[in-house]
Amino acid sequence: MKIIKKIKVPVIEGLERMSLSELDLIMEEKAAKVAICECNWPKEAPYTPDCNGAVARSKTHLAVIYHVRGLDLRATEMEDNGRSWEDSCCEFFVSDPFDGSYYNFELTCVGSLLAAKGTGRQDRQAMDPALLTRVIRHSSLERRPIVITGQIIGWTVAMLIPFELIGIDPDNLPVSVRANFYKCGDLTAHPHFLSWNPIPIPKPDFHKPEFFGELILR
């Protein structure tokens, strides 16, 4: 059965100017919470680390923060627009409200970011590196290669995405956008594929915009 979760995204001004500790505190107090806990493919990937997020917006940015606690840590991709999904990774996919495409933002535990746009899995166009630098990123971990297995580790990452990078005029926001939040780690010792909005298909695939939930912006 197809489920479309909906949440209202609150306005918190000044998010893009905050440190991680400041952002974490105010998002805990005022942001909309999302539990990234749907284990859509329990046979292929039964492991489910704890992953909880929150989303809010300022006048110019959409802010997403993730708190993760689970086994293993993998951070081998140090460059942007690399294979982020193979590491310990938190992701945010959001539809362009005007042209039928969607964006994928895939942030590793140490802050490496992949971002692309397209209408499906096979036609992704990577975001220009100059634009990618406009996404504000935070991580509780040092940006260096890390591979740890068999230990329980907690970490936090956040990204603040300018509305203009996802096809939205900040002075003329749509009422809502379709989106989903994910937690993955394809090459971690315990591979996992979790989502906020459920994805009722046989095999793991996050590139399914028909199963995005809805973020109400105004």
121-139 pLDDT, tens digit each: 998 999 999 999 999 999 9
pTM for the predicted model, two decimal places: 0.97
Structure tokens at 91: 């992701």
CATH fold for the domain made of 6-216:
Immunoglobulin-like (2.60.40)
Contacts of 116 (CB under 8 A, 6+ apart): 81, 103, 104, 124, 125, 126, 127
Q: For residues 131 and 153, what is the distance between their CA atoms, to the nearest angstrom?
A: 32
Structure tokens at 156: 């936090």
pLDDT reading at 210 higher than 80? yes
pLDDT reading at 1 higher than 80? no
pLDDT interval class at 103 (50, 70, 90): very high
168-177 pLDDT, tens digit each: 999 999 999 9
* Cβ–Cβ under 8 Å, residues 177 and 6: no
φ, ψ of residue 82 in degrees (nearest 5): -100, -155
- Going from N- to C-terminal start, the domains of the chain cover 6-216
* Cβ–Cβ under 8 Å, residues 51 and 68: yes
